[in-house]
Amino acid sequence: MPLKPRTASFTLLLGLLVAIAPLSTDIFVPIMPELASVFGADVATVQLTFTSFYLGVACGQLIYGPLSDRYGRRLPLLAGLALFAAGGLGCALSTSIEVLIAGRFMQALGMSAGPVLARSIVRDLYSWDNAARTLALMSIVLGVAPILGPLLGTALLAWKGWSAVFWALAGVAVVLLAAVAFGLTETAPHPRLQSLNPAALMRNFVFLLGQRRYTAYLVALCTVQTGIAAFISSSAFVFMRSLGHTAGEYAVLFAIVATGHIIGAIASSRLVMRLGIDRMIRTGSLIACLSGIVTAGFGWAGVDHAAAIVAPTFVYMFATAFVMPHATAAALSPFPKIAGAASSLLGFVQFTLGSVTSYVLGALYDGTQRPLTTAIGLMGMASLLVYLILVRPIAAAGRRN
């Protein structure tokens, strides 16, 4: 029976489609040191499984948005989830680190349909503050994945080994495929026949990048997202190799940090209708800046204790929930006729930066927490600067009009 839009069950399904992105990364991070041992690979090579995953997601962003503008949201979503399942099976059966890297790319290429099209569906049904509130509610579901992911990954590793993680992800893909097939109706407006025309698509991207209302919020979103990508891709080696924690202890520490995001998402969903998008982003950017500086400060002071990373990063994650859904809503709301392309470009830039971040931190890993904490500190400071220089003038102009 199809789910009715604007109901809790409908929002939950959208939240789950977005949550498969962090689940696919966070369930994976506890097994990274094990992969290094099993395949005889160094840290930088194992980090390429993250780099290829982020590249796959980035490429997927450019595919599903235009497809959904042409054929609707439902059909590309079903195709993407089927590819996600197939990629999970390929990873589970990998016999070398090179095959696993390729399998992660394929898995990500399929998985990216979920976040891209869920955001487009929100844009189809809601506008401005209501879109921001819905995205914030979806972020609550999104926040659960980083809490459960490492714990589940650790349990699967202990139970059946590293391949069990990928069998589990394939199972999740199949369940979501069934949920979309039977529960999701089409929400897209009339198809746009030019959506798949390369020239028209490029014109849309160029047009969007020329709009300050789009690029300002895109950059605001990317700064905090890059800090998250740094923590996800590097924290396993920092906690388990540099600080000597077990996989189980790491999963708990990761879950504590991730709880910051879900608490922030709950607060964000309740405050946005009263405070508005601009004040939410301003508050989140300020908190991200301060917590990022503290994180980097502890790292450079050589405080070799998990709490020196967990406590300030918890606050940083709280802050990201004030920025991300509202920056997304503000970027997409002015462009209803090309919502798919706008959502695609948004995700492409985010995950391309995530791929670069993963690669750079893998190359810079020196056995300490400094590269990781420095990245979080820089992104926190960048978030506040972007708000002050780019976002605030646009918000002020909107109030005058």
290 vs 195, residue with greater confidence: 290
- CA 24 → CA 2, 313, 355, 388, distances in Å? 26, 21, 15, 34
Q: Please give the backbone phi and psi of residue 305, each rounded to the nearest 5 degrees, phi first.
A: -140, 140
The token pair at 348 is: 């492409």
Where do the H-state alpha helices sit in 4-127?
8-26, 32-39, 43-71, 74-92, 97-111, 113-125
The packing angle between helices 212-237 and 247-275, to 10°, is 160
Angle at 84 between CA 117 and CA 265, to 5 degrees: 50
Name the CATH superfamily for 8-184+196-400: MFS general substrate transporter like domains (1.20.1250.20)
What mean pLDDT is predicted for residues 262-289? 88
In DSSP notation, 47-83 reads: HHHHHHHHHHHHHHHHHHHHHHHHH-SHHHHHHHHHH
What mean pLDDT is predicted for residues 149-165? 90
Domain ranges of the chain: 8-184+196-400
What mean pLDDT is predicted for residues 9-26? 86
In DSSP notation, 197-234 reads: -HHHHHHHHHHHHT-HHHHHHHHHHHHHHHHHHHHHHH
Reported as a single tens digit per residue, the pLDDT across 224-259 is 999 999 998 888 889 988 898 988 898 899 889 988
- Contact, 346 vs 353, CB < 8 A? no
**pLDDT of 188 strictly over 80:** no
Reported as a single tens digit per residue, the pLDDT across 30-84 is 888 889 889 988 888 888 898 899 889 888 888 887 788 778 888 999 999 999 9
- CA 384 → CA 38, 219, 280, distances in Å? 42, 11, 12
Q: Taking the alpha carbons of 158, 164, 169, 172 in that order, is the dihedral positive or negative?
A: negative
> Per this entry, what is the length of the chain?
401
Residue 275: partners with Cβ closer than 8 Å, 6 or more residues away: 283
Quote the CA–CA distance of 353 and 190 in Å, as a whole number.
Answer: 33
Position of tokens 């199972």?
Answer: 171
Mean pLDDT lowest among 157-171, 183-197, 228-242: 183-197
- Contact, 131 vs 122, CB < 8 A? yes
Reported as a single tens digit per residue, the pLDDT across 299-353 is 999 898 999 999 999 999 999 999 998 898 888 888 877 776 787 788 888 888 8
What mean pLDDT is predicted for residues 354-368? 87
Quote the CA–CA distance of 216 and 39 in Å, as a whole number.
Answer: 43
Quote the CA–CA distance of 354 and 175 in Å, as a whole number.
Answer: 27
**pLDDT of 400 strictly over 60:** no
**pLDDT of 124 strictly over 70:** yes
In DSSP notation, 322-343 reads: HHHHHHHHHHHTT-GGGHHHHH
The token pair at 255 is: 């879950």
**pLDDT of 191 strictly over 60:** no
What percentage of the chain exceeds 90 in pLDDT?
Answer: 40
pLDDT at 218: 94
Quote the CA–CA distance of 72 and 74 in Å, as a whole number.
Answer: 6
pLDDT at 1: 60
What mean pLDDT is predicted for residues 355-370? 88
**pLDDT of 298 strictly over 80:** yes
**pLDDT of 376 strictly over 80:** yes
Residue 12: partners with Cβ closer than 8 Å, 6 or more residues away: 141
Quote the CA–CA distance of 233 and 29 in Å, as a whole number.
Answer: 7
**pLDDT of 386 strictly over 90:** yes
Quote the CA–CA distance of 203 and 238 in Å, as a whole number.
Answer: 43
